[in-house]
Structure 1
Amino acid sequence: MSRLQVVSGKGGTGKTTVAAALALALATEGKRTLLVEVEGRQGIAQLFETEALPYEERKIAVAPGGGEVYALAIDPELALLDYLQMFYKLGGAGRALKKLGAIDFATTVAPGLRDVLLTGKACEAVRRKDKSGRYAYDCVVMDAPPTGRITRFLNVNDEVAGLAKIGPIHNQAQAVMRVLKSPETAVHLVTLLEEMPVQETADGIAELRAAQLRVGRVIVNMVRPELLDEAELELGLDRTPRTAIAKSLSAAGLGGARKGGAAERLVDPLLGQAAEYAERFALERDQRAVLTGFGKPLHELPLLAGGMDLAGLYELATALRKQGIA
């Protein structure tokens, strides 16, 4: 089990939801997980129906079995103040720099530094131990940037190469990369059974592998229920006798069976919907085959008909546990 689990995915695939469900799934049997947000969107707070997260680790949920989920929204400016205090003991001087806007300026003109601060804070939580020598968290789950930026975000050593050849920043980047490129870390990619997200997942896997960052699992989100299986579709919906369908509708109480009656008028709309379903079924089957070809563990999460709420989040966590992800 990787202790740092990074969750990425194309925008709109629900990666924040999956990251939150994964943190809940991992927090079983008394374990503690930390769910980290790095994009400043407060998506975690919305999912857990709590107030906006401050720059501190705060318990936000209790998992089945007594496990605990903590959350942290990392603010790069405050992380830089922590960094300045840790390495340079600036204290009040660092806060004065923030008031002057120097902290915001530094993280804006040197985006590599910003990523070092964000990933560094997460890696520090992975390595942290209490006085007894036990890890503070059994797992850290990071809700990371989208697939198109994930490799550059995680490959901070290259990003700061031109910024600092030696010194504390360079050493910090090296320490971060030792965690990110170790077996302690796995990057999971969230997708949908649609062509564009699947292609972006393929590109993301290739980029992560080229950067020697370990790809973990592929998680297919919002999978719609299977109404007709492949055998039923192969029967040929267009060859189904219209009169037989009308009689079945009539028997179910949906209008009379006479010619031109309500039951007969329903036949064409129903066959149209069935044709659309058959087309979507074929597309999803093909995309699932592509995902299987990546050679990574594949998990599927259902589309929740009632929308996403806290109860739905626990439902997804249960689905992940049943699939052996925790």
Structure 2
Amino acid sequence: MPEASPDLSKVRLHVVTGKGGTGKTTVAAALALALARQGKRVLLAEVEGRQGIAQTFDSAPLGHTETRILHDRTGGEIWGLSVDAKESLLEYLQKFYKAGRAGSVLEKFGAIDFATTIAPGVRDVLLIGKIYEAAGRREGGKRGSSGEPVYDAVVLDAPPTGRVVRFLNVNAEVADVAKMGPIRNQADSITRMLRSHTTAVHVVSLLEEMPVQETVDALAELRAASLPLGAIVVNQLRPPLLDARALRSVQAKSTARLRGTVRGDLETAGVRVTDALVEGLVADGADYADRVALEQRQDAVLEEQGRMMVRLPLLPEGTEGGGIGVLATAIDEQGMV
């Protein structure tokens, strides 16, 4: 039985994941822009230190401090953040243990580096904790105050599908270890946020066998972890080269008949016909038909998942020249925001 489509109008934390190479950073940026065009103040955050957001918006490299990277004519804004585990730990020590100068001492002796690079799971706890703090922060600077939220929405460019469930579920694991105290309390709060109706995990895919299989696997793992599913975003869709009638003709005719048709069409158009030209066009047509058939099969696999499907076009020139805006429009028109 198909799952109910998510009410994305109530979502405040959009988590975007996908197999490496599917364009998840580009999709996260386009989603943030679509939200900003609605007049919203949006935080677009990354946790892998790749500076993908800065490259997408052609801005200066992002740091651990939130920086405005776009102001839309609607009044909406995008603020960028590249979460740093070391800075997050120092903030954490100050917040819960009033460490102050002690944090600097720990850093001097290498304890901070140890905790953020070697200790299992600690780095992910710190990274997702910073996102939790930003998503819940209210005017006045504190979570839980009576002011309006600082951000109307947060878009997280999350780790790829191969490790996103472990990343998002790490606080549940910490809660099993820490039975009481501030660490346990925060872990419980983060887990509640990530599993609530105000969060949605969107998975980006291409219509290729490996990305589609990773998407199916990731959706199953997300369901098992009780993490709320959002949309499947099919990225980089190529425009059709042949209309439906021409494609059926290529698929139905024998190679010999197709050669004859191609030769006749070329001659009618006044093109100088050679055997090499005909053979090349026939081969290209067969390859194209095979690719379309493969994409249709993969699309059917994704449709079977029962999720909202959002389809985005291939950008021949990449994100330059307004490409992100094209994707943001497509996201808006298909009801993802």
TM range (shorter): over 0.9
Aligned CA distance change for structure 1 residues 247 and 183 (closer, same or farther; 3 Å): same
Of residues 300, 306, 320 in structure 1, which corresponds to 2:311?
300
Counterparts of 1:255-294 in structure 2 under 5 Å?
255=272, 261-262=273-274, 264-294=275-305
Indicate if the aligned counterparts of 2:259 and 2:282 stay in contact, CA closer than 8 A: no
Q: Which runs of 5+ in 2 are unaligned?
A: 1-8, 141-145
**Residue 165 of structure 2 aligns with which residue?**
151
Which letter does structure 1 place at the counterpart of 2:289? A
Overall identity of the aligned pairs, in %? 55
**Residue 5 of structure 2 aligns with which residue?**
none
Q: Which moved more, 1:185-194 or 1:104-113?
A: 104-113
Displacement after TM superposition at 1:205 (Å): 0.6
Indicate if the aligned counterparts of 2:262 and 2:282 stay in contact, CA closer than 8 A: no
Deviations 1:168-190 (A, max 9, x none): 22221111111001111110000
Indicate if the aligned counterparts of 1:116 and 1:156 stay in contact, CA closer than 8 A: yes
Displacement after TM superposition at 1:90 (Å): 1.1
Displacement after TM superposition at 1:267 (Å): 1.2
**Residue 47 of structure 1 aligns with which residue?**
56
Displacement after TM superposition at 1:226 (Å): 1.5
Indicate if the aligned counterparts of 2:239 and 2:313 stay in contact, CA closer than 8 A: yes
Cα RMSD over matched residues?
A: 1.7
SS in 1 for 2:154: strand
**Normalized against structure 1, the TM-score is what?**
0.93
SS in 2 for 1:50: coil
Indicate if the aligned counterparts of 2:222 and 2:229 stay in contact, CA closer than 8 A: yes
Displacement after TM superposition at 1:293 (Å): 0.6
Of residues 83, 105, 121 in structure 2, which corresponds to 1:96?
105
Of residues 5, 21, 34 in structure 2, which corresponds to 1:12?
21
Deviations 1:189-243 (A, max 9, x none): 0000011111111111111111100110000011111222444322324364534
**Residue 137 of structure 1 aligns with which residue?**
151
Q: Partners of 2:105 and 2:264 in 1: how far apart? A: 80
**Residue 57 of structure 1 aligns with which residue?**
66
Counterparts of 1:21-170 in structure 2 under 5 Å?
21-63=30-72, 65-131=74-140, 133-161=147-175, 163-170=177-184
Aligned CA distance change for structure 1 residues 94 and 123 (closer, same or farther; 3 Å): same
Q: Partners of 1:84 and 1:254 in 2: how far apart? A: 75
Displacement after TM superposition at 1:251 (Å): 4.1
Deviations 1:250-271 (A, max 9, x none): 443432xxxxx44x53111111
Q: Partners of 1:306 and 1:40 in 2: how far apart? A: 25
Deviations 1:68-126 (A, max 9, x none): 11110000000000000111111121122122221110122323221121111111111
Q: Partners of 2:69 and 2:286 in 1: how far apart? A: 45
**Residue 258 of structure 1 aligns with which residue?**
none
**Normalized against structure 2, the TM-score is what?**
0.90
Q: Partners of 1:157 and 1:298 in 2: how far apart? A: 29
Q: Which moved more, 1:20-29 or 1:182-191?
A: 20-29
Indicate if the aligned counterparts of 1:237 and 1:271 stay in contact, CA closer than 8 A: no
Q: Partners of 1:219 and 1:185 in 2: how far apart? A: 16
Indicate if the aligned counterparts of 1:48 and 1:310 stay in contact, CA closer than 8 A: no
Aligned CA distance change for structure 1 residues 18 and 145 (closer, same or farther; 3 Å): same
2:316 is equivalent to residue 324 of structure 1: no
Which letter does structure 1 place at the counterpart of 2:282? L
Q: Partners of 1:63 and 1:294 in 2: how far apart? A: 35
Aligned CA distance change for structure 1 residues 232 and 244 (closer, same or farther; 3 Å): closer
